[in-house]
Amino acid sequence: MQIRNGLRMLAHPGQLYEAFTRSQLYRSVIRNPWPTNARTRALAVMGSVFLHLQPTRTRPEAIKITYTWGLGGISFLFFLILTLTGVLLMFYYVPQVPLAYQNMLDLQGSVSFGQLMRNMHRWAAHGMVIVVFLHMCRVFYTGSYRPPREFNRIVGVILLVLTFLLSFTGYLLPWDQLSYWAVTVGTNMVGSTPFLGGLVQFLLLGDKTVGQNTLIRFYTLHVIALPLLLSLFLSVHFWRIRKDGFSRGL
């Protein structure tokens, strides 16, 4: 009997579709019908994690491209590209002094799309530093740091510092002359800071000079600690934008 019913439904695709949309499985994924009025639209927004991330109301002029220049969004796009290419790079890179530099050469010479992956990571990193800085300038220029957004501006400054730190820690990983000396100079500058400078320099290096201990510390900071912190503060940043709304016209 059931087989005959099933076959009958197959003969009528419309009925099959209707039975599918009424099934428990379908309704556990798609909870609301297609929104056709204000109520069902509100239900759809509240039931979707992605739509729910948007502010409840936005004035059209606030998201004009010539107001934000999309700089916050572009920064986030760079972060996504960096995460994706960074995970792919982790498949090949070993943070050990005798291996790191050779890994980079092998990645470029022997791995399919290896050079592309590495270049995308590097250029997206440069891009993110520049664009986050420009985004901060835009926030300053349009006065978007004023209340009630002063808290989000502070979260933004933390994001800027984390972006710089990600860039700095990543710079050592290829383990070439440029990265070795850049980190030597950078950490010596930290060491010259009065009072705690020497201690922080030693904590960063894990030694008196740049070596294996430094490489593993920078690697751990670069691939785990800093991206996690950045993701955490990004969530707070986006949540505040949603709560405060965009600044234009206020």
| Residue closer to ligand HEM (CB basis): 16 or 63 | 63
- For ligand HEM, give the closer residue by CB, 164 or 181: 164
Q: What are the structure tokens assigned to 228, written together? A: 């996690």
Give least dist CB 241 to ligand HEM, A. 5
Inter-CA distances, 237 with 89, 129, 152, 209, 217, Å = 28, 17, 6, 37, 27
222 belongs to the binding site for ligand HEM (CB under 6 A) = no
Q: How far is the CB of 53 from ligand HEM (least distance, A)?
A: 10
Report how many residues bind ligand HEM under the rule CB under 6 A.
Answer: 28
Q: Where are the beta strands (DSSP E) in 19-82?
A: none
Query: What is the rounded distance in angstroms from the CA atom of residue 135 to the CA atom of residue 68?
Result: 8
* Distance of alpha carbon 146 from alpha carbon 2, whole angstroms: 66
Among 149, 173, 210, 222, interactor with ligand HEM by CB under 6 A: 149
Euclidean distance between CA atoms 49 and 47, whole angstroms: 7
Q: Kindly report each contact of residues 62-65 with a partner whose C-beta sits within 8 Å and lies 24 or more positions away, as own/partner.
A: 62/245, 62/246, 62/247, 62/248, 62/249, 63/246, 64/248
User: Considering the rule CB under 6 A, would residue 129 count as an interface residue with ligand HEM?
Assistant: no
**What is the pattern of x (binds ligand HEM, CB under 6 A) and - over residues 29-68?**
---------------------------------------x
Token pair listed for 83: 């995460």
**One residue of 163, 179, 187, 201 binding ligand HEM per CB under 6 A:** 163
**Which of the stretches 42-50, 90-98, 149-157, 198-206 binds ligand HEM when contact is defined by CB under 6 A?**
149-157
Q: Does 85 bind ligand HEM (CB under 6 A)?
A: no
Q: Which stretch binds ligand HEM (CB under 6 A): 118-126, 203-211, 218-226, 234-242?
A: 234-242
Are 244 and 146 in contact, with CB atoms under 8 Å apart? no
Nearest approach in angstroms of CB 8 to ligand HEM is 52
Token pair, residue 230, equals 């950045």
> Measuring CA to CA, which residue among 126, 159, 183 is closest to residue 237?
159
Report the C-alpha gap between 86 and 82 in whole angstroms.
Answer: 6
Integer Cα distance of 33 and 24 in angstroms:
14
Does position 135 bind ligand HEM by CB under 6 A? yes
Under rule CB under 6 A, residue 161 binds ligand HEM: no
Given 107, 125, 129, 159, the residue binding ligand HEM (CB under 6 A): 159
Binding of ligand HEM at residue 153 (CB under 6 A)? yes
Residues in contact with ligand HEM by CB under 6 A are 68, 70-73, 75-76, 79, 132, 135-136, 139, 142, 144-145, 149, 152-153, 156-157, 159-160, 163, 234, 237, 241, 246-247
